[in-house]
Homo-oligomer: A and B are copies of this chain.
């Protein structure tokens, strides 16, 4: 047992849910309080237990001794009497469910949105790791220009891995030239030239970080102008970032600040970060009123304004923030270049 499990059991009691089945990896890791990559199913009844494959039983018993460990036998056994499931449950399991069920995902989302002390420490550690890689780029910009995008991505991920990142939090975006105008472009064998956009994240003990820097490698007035606009947009967001503002308001404020340039800002302002690199809350002005979230102390989010000029270039600057009552703590600390 741990306090997350206890809180969830109380929720089940209050909702009169007798048996809940958790399949989503990140939710299981949240309740385990530890990164576990293997197949497993967490079942909450009065006493929770974890199903694993035969091959992982010894490992699980050694590492999760606060839970009963059972060997996976059949889905019938797991879902028998189940009346609480995740919204992500795939329809192929419905045939095993023999009772009316409630969706338990909102409760888990609500719990995971506010990070506890342990989680904040792990995300800080993940942010330190991606900072190390980003600072290495900053300090070696001249050498970096001799690499192709792929080689630079390899260097960055090597630094993160050596410093304790299990894996990149997402496919690292390390692109230059016109490709920066695609927010999600992947590295190629192209040489790095003109402009370099790096969007990376580390995973420490299952928890993610996320940071973006854009480097201008040539003297170009339009690039500088757009760069500074993005830079200012992030500052505007920071001015308003504290407990009490809503996710939708924050995105709207930044989009308003951008005026005519808003149409080049083709994604939302940011997103929650934790066991998943994209999780709740989403910071978007497209949220319906019932989807909007009031930002609260303990939430960890990115702010990542970006402007993309088709066939020319794109600029994005992204940092990671812990929201506080009266402001925020910035968790990503790599220097932001000024142009």
Known: A56-B184, A154-B161, A183-B55. A89 touches B88 (CB 8 A): no
Cβ B185 vs Cβ A310 within 8 A: no
The tally of residues in A whose CB lies under 8 Å from a CB in B reads 43
This chain's copy number in the assembly: 2
Known: A87-B90, A157-B161, A171-B37. A182 touches B150 (CB 8 A): no
Cβ A55 vs Cβ B184 within 8 A: yes
Question: Which chain B residues border A58 with CB–CB below 8 Å?
Answer: 181-182, 310
Please report the C-alpha to C-alpha distance between residue A182 and residue B54 in the assembled complex, in whole angstroms: 11
CB proximity of A183 to chain B, nearest CB, Å: 4
Please report the C-alpha to C-alpha distance between residue A158 and residue B37 in the assembled complex, in whole angstroms: 21
Residues 211-249 of A contacting B (Cβ, < 8 Å)? none
A194 within 8 A of B: no
Q: Which residue of B lies closest to A172 (CB)?
A: B167
Chain A, 257-283, contact with B by CB distance < 8 Å: what is the 0/1 string? 000000000110000000000000000
Known: A59-B182, A91-B91. A161 touches B167 (CB 8 A): no
Q: Which residue of B lies closest to A87 (CB)?
A: B92
Cβ B90 vs Cβ A267 within 8 A: no
Q: Which residue of B lies closest to A160 (CB)?
A: B154
Known: A88-B90, A90-B88. A38 touches B168 (CB 8 A): no
Please report the C-alpha to C-alpha distance between residue A103 and residue B155 in the assembled complex, in whole angstroms: 43
Chain A, 280-316, contact with B by CB distance < 8 Å: what is the 0/1 string? 0000000000000000000000000000101000000
CB proximity of A203 to chain B, nearest CB, Å: 9
Question: Which chain B residues border A185 with CB–CB below 8 Å?
Answer: 59
Please report the C-alpha to C-alpha distance between residue A37 and residue B54 in the assembled complex, in whole angstroms: 33
Partner of A103, one of B87, B92, B153: B92
Residues 69-108 of A contacting B (Cβ, < 8 Å)? 85, 87-92, 94, 103
Chain A, 160-196, contact with B by CB distance < 8 Å: what is the 0/1 string? 0110101110110000000001111110000000000
A151 within 8 A of B: yes
Q: Which residue of B lies closest to A151 (CB)?
A: B162
Most buried by B among A53, A150, A154: A154
Cβ A266 vs Cβ B54 within 8 A: yes
Cβ B87 vs Cβ A267 within 8 A: no
Kindly list the 6 A-B residue pairs having the minimum CB-CB distance in the complex, ordered from nearest: A154-B161, A87-B92, A158-B158, A154-B162, A59-B182, A55-B267
Between-chain CB contacts (< 8 Å), 14 pairs: A35-B186, A37-B171, A55-B183, A55-B308, A56-B183, A59-B184, A59-B185, A87-B90, A89-B91, A90-B91, A91-B91, A150-B164, A154-B161, A166-B171
Not counting A54-B266, A55-B308, a sample of 18 additional A-B residue pairs whose C-beta atoms are within 8 angstroms of each other reads: A37-B170, A37-B171, A38-B184, A53-B267, A54-B267, A55-B267, A58-B182, A59-B182, A88-B90, A88-B91, A89-B91, A91-B94, A91-B103, A150-B164, A157-B158, A157-B161, A158-B158, A166-B186
